[in-house]
Amino acid sequence: MAREIKFSLVYRDMWQSSGKYVPMVHQLKEIAPVIIEMGCFDRIETNGGAFEQVNLLFGENPNKAVREWTAPFNKAGIQTHMLERGLNGLRMNPVPADVRELMYKVKAKQGTNISRSFCGLNDSRNLEGSVKYAKAGGMISQVALSITYSPVHTVEYYMGLVDKVVEFGCDEICLKDMAGVGRPAFLGRLTKSIKDKYPHIVVQYHGHSGPGFSVASMLEVARAGAEYLDVAMEPLSWGMVHPDVITIQAMIKDAGFLVKEINMEAYMEARRLTQSFMDDYLGYFIDPGNKQMTSLLVGCGLPGGMMGSMMADLKGFHGAINSSLKNQGKRQLQLNELVVMLFHEVEYVWPKMGYPPLVTPFSQYVKNIALMNLMHTLKGEPRWSTIDKDTWNMILGKTGKLPGELDPELIQIAKDKGLEFYTGTPQDAFPNELEKFRAEMVENNWEQGEDDEELFEFAMHERQYRDYKSGVAKQRFEQELEAAKEKAGAPIIIKRPVVEVPKFDVDKLLEKYPQAKPIQATVKGQLLWQYDLTDKSSAPIIGDSVEEDKAICFVQTFYGLELIKSPKTGKIVQIFAEQGDTVEKGEIIAFVD
């Protein structure tokens, strides 16, 4: 009898790989019954990744969104799954163990059935907690292998990780082909190895369309024993997203597998609704280039979701690079030339940095270093002149063990800076913090929420949660949407009133912190707390420690980067400017006490 292949609609990742935002809860509730009516999906990816953060950026409650979005699928018997980043949980930097453990309890209660957990470094130590916490919280534990293509990423390498996570008790394995660079035959061999050794383990494949391999990969893994395939749908499928369910269903059906039929009337309605969400406002934040596939990704291996942020970075640096070249009497560069140069630089630095799989957040680190190297070399300066804190944490082993060997040059740079390599368990470097957040919620008279969901959200996304609670987030989003519509020449319709947020009283701050000193912009330009212009999650927050005369941020000017240093050793007590904001010379961007 023919074997059945089941499909999962990655509705969250469709949006995250396309642009900055995902639909709001009222839109998700509208399309959920139509997705169910399509009749071809056994699973839906509903949340995780950037989903909760994006809701906070809207100024809306992410816990309400998860509960209401998963509810109709739970009722229909369709499994829901989320994506989480192992040690990094639902954010870009490491999360204490107690906050990670609470996450699974909260998400299970909210209606999420499966936790897809990955470590960007494929370090089993970062996944042990994910498996055990998910199972204890009542979720199905699915471990994702971060798939990439390099001399060190062999079938044997990945099977070593599979052995570990099966020992921990995981239920399923996902082949997370986040850049779509996994070679089809290789993925077939890996799937067969998993199924031969662990026939009880369910295998699911997730691959982006970007360089064009993923359709063939889906056929290979199906033939090798995989049970589930992740698919997308128009108008967001293909490009840097995922293959469309219509194509994959037809291909798998023709190959002799059993598949569910697609209700095409429902498909067209879901397509129409998705397009209406784009027309409403989400389309203003989608780069048209994300609809294109490019074989250039075969070489550099960057994931499709990175293309939007990479292009934003290059556009931001383009003027500064050409200004520097002009001053040197050299030919100025077109943006497409810089894209190719950046791809080549990624190919150059990636093996030297130990072949970290190019998945969030490590793809950002590699891309950021490549971008800064490109800036420096075009100015006649040496590579590796600028390495940010998060990248150093990866290089030094604080976030896990690198798959390959570090280049001796980087080891020497670390030694010259007096930096020490970390060999302990990554989680041990990040002590528990939940009680700190619980105490502050009590002090602020904030509700901890059903099943402690508000406590979890505060502890996981501290900066964004504070902005959500104050009303700043909603105000900022409305202003951003207004600016995007104005730029596009569209009529500006504000659907919700802008929240009035009182200006911060500097005098009161100085009464509370009389020794506080301001951090001021030394020039006019674009503020960079860290290099990825589109990522605000790694920016400092109130309470972060800083050192006197050490770099705290940069200002991007027309001639290059201007370094801003901390005026004293202490902690940040107030922040006035965000990642990407335009600041004036002398403007106070933060206070440190």
For residue 52, being part of any structural domain is answered with yes
Residue 203 has a pLDDT of 98
- Report whether 527 contacts 577 (CB < 8 A): yes
- Amino acid code (one letter) for 287: D
Residue 456 has a pLDDT of 98
Helix (H, G, I), strand (E, B) or coil at 118: strand
Taking residues 505-531, what's their average pLDDT?
Answer: 79
Going by the DSSP 8-state scheme, the letter that residue 318 receives in this structure is H
Taking residues 458-476, what's their average pLDDT?
Answer: 94
For residue 391, being part of any structural domain is answered with no
pLDDT in tens, 395-431: 999 999 999 999 999 999 999 999 999 999 999 989 9
Residue 98 has a pLDDT of 98
Domain boundary residue, one of 286, 312, 332 = 286
Residue 535 has a pLDDT of 53
Residue 505 has a pLDDT of 63
Cis peptide leading into 235, omega within 30 of 0? yes
For residue 137, being part of any structural domain is answered with yes
Task: Please indicate whether residue 334 or residue 39 has the higher confidence score (pLDDT).
Answer: 39
For residue 166, being part of any structural domain is answered with yes
Residue 196 sits at the vertex; the CA angle it makes with 194 and 202, to the nearest 5 degrees, is 50
Taking residues 191-211, what's their average pLDDT?
Answer: 97
Domain boundary residue, one of 286, 310, 332 = 286
Residue 495 has a pLDDT of 43
Residue 332 has a pLDDT of 86
Helix (H, G, I), strand (E, B) or coil at 91: coil
For residue 371, being part of any structural domain is answered with no
CA distance 145 to 177: 8
CB contact set of 435 (below 8 Å; sequence gap of 6+): none
- Report whether 18 contacts 236 (CB < 8 A): yes
Per-residue pLDDT band at 493 (split at 50, 70, 90): very low
Residue 312 has a pLDDT of 66
pLDDT in tens, 290-322: 788 888 778 777 775 566 566 667 776 777 777
pLDDT in tens, 2-32: 999 999 999 999 998 888 899 999 999 999 9
Residue 311 has a pLDDT of 67
Residue 498 has a pLDDT of 39
Q: Tokens 């911060």 label which residue?
A: 504
Residue 307 has a pLDDT of 61
- Report whether 219 contacts 255 (CB < 8 A): yes
- Helices (H) and strands (E) counted in the chain, each on its own, are 22, 16
CB atoms within 10 A of CB 582: 13
Domain boundary residue, one of 269, 286, 303 = 286
Structural domain containing residue 279: 6-286
Quote the pTM value: 0.81
**DSSP H helical ranges for 198-293:** 214-224, 245-254, 264-280
Number of separate domains in the chain = 2
Q: Is the pLDDT of residue 362 over 50?
A: yes
Q: Is the pLDDT of residue 497 over 70?
A: no
- Tell me the average pLDDT of the chain: 89
Residue 502 has a pLDDT of 42
The domain that holds 530 is classified in CATH as 2.40.50.100
CA distance 325 to 552: 27
pLDDT in tens, 334-358: 888 888 888 889 889 999 999 998 8
Taking residues 99-116, what's their average pLDDT?
Answer: 98
Residue 308 has a pLDDT of 57
CB atoms within 10 A of CB 568: 14
Taking residues 57-68, what's their average pLDDT?
Answer: 96
For residue 443, being part of any structural domain is answered with no
Q: Is the pLDDT of residue 533 over 70?
A: no
Q: Edge-to-edge, what's the strand order for the sheet holding 560-565?
A: 560-565, 551-557, 525-528, 582-583
The domain that holds 204 is classified in CATH as 3.20.20.70
Residue 334 has a pLDDT of 86
Per-residue pLDDT band at 490 (split at 50, 70, 90): low
SS3 for 420-472, per residue?
CCCCCCHHHHCCCCHHHHHHHHHHHCCCCCHHHHHHHHHHHCHHHHHHHHHCH
Per-residue pLDDT band at 527 (split at 50, 70, 90): confident
Task: Please indicate whether residue 63 or residue 290 has the higher confidence score (pLDDT).
Answer: 63
Pick from 48, 56, 63: which is nearest to 15 by CA? 48
For residue 464, being part of any structural domain is answered with no
φ and ψ at residue 251, rounded to 5 degrees? -65, -45
pLDDT in tens, 407-417: 999 999 999 99
For residue 1, being part of any structural domain is answered with no
Taking residues 189-205, what's their average pLDDT?
Answer: 98
Task: Please indicate whether residue 528 or residue 65 has the higher confidence score (pLDDT).
Answer: 65
Per-residue pLDDT band at 92 (split at 50, 70, 90): confident
